Amino acid sequence: MRKGLQNAVNNLNNNYKIIAVDDEEGIIDSLSIFLKRSGYEFTGVTNPVEAIERIRNEHFDLMILDFIMTPIHGDQVVEEIRKFNKELYILLLTGHKDLAPPLETIKRLDIQGYCEKSDKFDQLLLLIESGIKSISQMNEIKKVNDELKSTYELLQNAYLESIQTLRYTVDAKDNYTRGHSDRVSEYSVLIGNALNLPEKDINTLKIGGLFHDIGKIGVPDSILLKEDRLTDDEYSEIKNHPSIGAHILSTASIFNDIIPIVKHHHEKYDGSGYPGRLRGNEIPYLARITTIADSFDAMTSRRTYRDSLPIEEVITEFEKCKGTQFDPELTDVFLDIIRNNYDKILEIKEKYKA
Where along the chain do its domains lie? 2-134, 151-351
pLDDT of 6 = 46
DSSP state of 115: E
pLDDT of 8 = 39
- Higher-pLDDT residue of 95 and 215 is 215
Q: Which CATH superfamily is domain 2-134 in?
A: Response regulator (3.40.50.2300)
DSSP state of 15: T
pLDDT of 100 = 65
Confirm if 69 and 22 have CB atoms less than 8 A apart: yes
- CA distances to 184, 271, 329, 330 from 322, rounded to whole Å, are 19, 13, 8, 9
Q: For residue 72, give the amino acid letter.
A: I
**Element housing 193 (H / E):** helix 175-194
Highest mean pLDDT range out of 11-20, 49-58, 87-96, 205-214?
49-58
Distance from C-alpha of 100 to C-alpha of 89, rounded to nearest angstrom: 18
pLDDT of 99 = 63
**Axis crossing angle, helix 285-299 with helix 199-211, rounded to the nearest 10:** 50
pLDDT of 324 = 96
Report the CATH fold assignment for 151-351. Answer: Hypothetical protein af1432 (1.10.3210)
Q: What is the pLDDT of residues 254-310, one digit of tens each?
A: 789 999 999 999 999 999 999 999 999 999 999 999 999 999 999 998 766 667 899
When the pLDDT of each residue in the chain is averaged and rounded to a whole number, the result is 85
Q: What is the pLDDT of residues 15-65, one digit of tens each?
A: 799 999 999 999 999 999 989 888 899 999 999 999 999 999 999 999 999
Q: What is the pLDDT of residues 132-146, one digit of tens each?
A: 998 988 888 887 777
SS3 298: helix
Closest CA to 22 of 37, 32, 35: 32
DSSP state of 114: E
